[in-house]
Structure 1
Amino acid sequence: MSGLSHQEMLDASVHFGHLRKKWNPKMLPYIFMERKGIHIIDLNKTNEGLERAASAMKKLARAGKKILFVATKKQAKDMVAKAAEEIGMPYVTERWLGGMLTNFSTIRKSIKKKQSIKKLLEEKSTALTKKERLMLSREYDKLDRILGGVEDMSRAPSALFIVDISHEHIALAEAKRLGIITFAMVDTNSDPTQVDFAIPANDDASKSVGLITGYLVNSIKEGLAERQKEKTDDYDTHEQQGEGDSGSAEKGNRRDAARNRNLQKRRRNRTSSSSEGGEE
């Protein structure tokens, strides 16, 4: 992949930062100019950060690693959830529970509780009153809303992709504490040095979030496709080796059979010669 065009990013408002008074000085290398009190992000820097992040995500996907998508802002959560589901990655788009990463065993217990409630509600033979069923349904809906995106995550992820690190500061802090790789869209009011792969971009506009996320998702798809191809190639190689081994064994059996026939023939000839010598 070769990055996004400037026109694509301009159309999605990727270049718009925050008011100058809200800026983080560490974003200076990524700011192109100031216009009417608003910082304008350098789109060349955006593409550089995007390509670097996309390449790293592709490698993670190819290696079978999980990337947790985090975006609880209203204008971002639906599209990020859809994007993560599209590639089979976990996501958090409602409330980030404290300890989601640092106390993952407790989160797993909550997920198991959710699964137990679902099973209970699906069993029509269960003697639940109407009130009990209603209460359980409400509890299930709450757990599903918060934990539904990480239900299949059996262990902490290898990386996080975050939309707005200022808003998702708890998630970022937990990831850093555990040494988990972090990717993020970083606006002019945030500190890009807090993440491993910073993508300078407008993290408030839904079009901007959608464009950047979509590009990264396509890179992950490429990594997943390469992983699948490697698996298929390995399977075909093993199959061919198996056929080769079978063919070699068959040839060996034929050689052994021919050797035995020749040996038996020589024995018969020797026996015949001995008999003729005795008659003389």
Structure 2
Amino acid sequence: MATITMKELLEAGVHFGHQTKRWNPKMKEFIFGERNGIYIIDLQKTLKMFKEASKFVQDLATDGSQRWLGGLLTNWVTVQKSVKRLKELDEMATDGRYELLPKKEVIKLERERKHLQANLAGIKNMNRLPDAIFVIDSNKEQIAVREARKLGIPVVAVVDTNCDPTEGDYVIPGNDDALRAIRLFTSKISESIAEGAQLMTDKQVADMQAASDAAQAAADAAPEYHSEEAAGVDPAEDISMEEVLGPGTHKKPVANEDADVPKVESQTV
């Protein structure tokens, strides 16, 4: 399972939330305090919840689930039409039909095929909806999040202090605007998926070997996957947030929990 450390989170600026006037009270439990009008996210909770989310996606990959590119879920019908068109153009390029067309037309079709190939090659043979989606900023991606929840698809989401954490099944409190923070989370989640896929491959190989061996030999040869394997926080990472951030950080949110919650502008995907 992919690991993440307090040092990595701090260096990526994951602890910086939004201005105190732009917050969602539902994020209160994930806020450590406030500094210079900016909410500070409790990175101890980020570490814990990242570990849970990471294990979830690795288990999915181990079971043979596939990743899904962001933005495709809510455009399923359109995407399927584009995939069908890509397959048609691939066939035309290999079955001799290109040779029957004018050169100008072939150039046009080939340009279209390359464009579709660049965007859809990875999902050309996928014929079902995903087993989970991973999003950065559940506010910005609210259409995909709500559609996934409607379809019963688990949502893994990085949520900032202005987000609603109840919209995700596995939420990771953290800065969803800083490029370094986004790169950190996406790379670590990708690692978990890759490791899960490798576990699945190893298991398939072991199963094939087991089929030709005696029952006891098969049991001894089959690799074991320990779900409780430590992955995120070790004793060395049990760092005090007060120690890290210094005395200038106020521990409690200054905003009134009962105050009117400002509307967060959403963006249509």
Normalised TM-score (structure 1): 0.68
In 2, the alpha carbon distance for the partners of 1:225 and 1:97 equals: 25
Question: Are 2:83 and 1:111 equivalent residues in the alignment?
Answer: yes
Contact 1:114 1:140 in 2 (8 A): yes
In 2, the alpha carbon distance for the partners of 1:225 and 1:2 equals: 13
Letter in 1 for 2:4: L
Contact 1:3 1:47 in 2 (8 A): no
Give deviations 1:171-200, integer Å, cap 9, x for gaps. 112211110011011111211110100011
State the Cα RMSD in Å: 2.6
Q: Percent identity, aligned pairs only?
A: 38
Larger-Rg structure: 1
Letter in 2 for 1:43: L
Change (3 A) 1:143 1:167: farther
Question: Are 2:200 and 1:227 equivalent residues in the alignment?
Answer: yes
Change (3 A) 1:214 1:98: closer
Letter in 1 for 2:184: L
Change (3 A) 1:141 1:157: same
Letter in 2 for 1:20: T
Among candidates 141, 145, 159, match of residue 172 of structure 1: 145
CA positional deviation for 1:43:
0.5
**Partner residue in 2 for 1:207:** 180
Letter in 1 for 2:54: A
Q: Which has the higher contact order (CA 8 A, sep 6+)?
A: 2
In 2, the alpha carbon distance for the partners of 1:209 and 1:99 equals: 22
In 1, the alpha carbon distance for the partners of 2:108 and 2:14 equals: 44
**Partner residue in 2 for 1:198:** 171
Letter in 2 for 1:34: E
Of Structure 1 and Structure 2, which has the larger fraction of its residues in helix?
1
In 2, the alpha carbon distance for the partners of 1:208 and 1:170 equals: 23
Change (3 A) 1:148 1:198: same
Give deviations 1:199-233, integer Å, cap 9, x for gaps. 11111122111211222222223322222222222
**Partner residue in 2 for 1:100:** 75
CA positional deviation for 1:3:
4.3
CA positional deviation for 1:134:
4.6
**Partner residue in 2 for 1:79:** none
Structure 2 residue runs without a partner (length 5+): 218-269
| 3-state DSSP of counterpart to 2:172 | strand
Among candidates 196, 207, 216, match of residue 189 of structure 2: 216
Change (3 A) 1:218 1:97: closer
Give deviations 1:217-259, integer Å, cap 9, x for gaps. 22223322222222222111211249x9xxxxxxxxxxxxxxx
**Partner residue in 2 for 1:75:** none
Give deviations 1:21-58, integer Å, cap 9, x for gaps. 22122111111112222111110111111001011111
In 2, the alpha carbon distance for the partners of 1:148 and 1:173 equals: 27
Contact 2:2 2:192 in 1 (8 A): no
Change (3 A) 1:99 1:9: closer
| 3-state DSSP of counterpart to 1:100 | helix
| 3-state DSSP of counterpart to 1:218 | helix
Give deviations 1:81-125, integer Å, cap 9, x for gaps. xxxxxxxxxx23xxx367434x4xx53232010222244356584
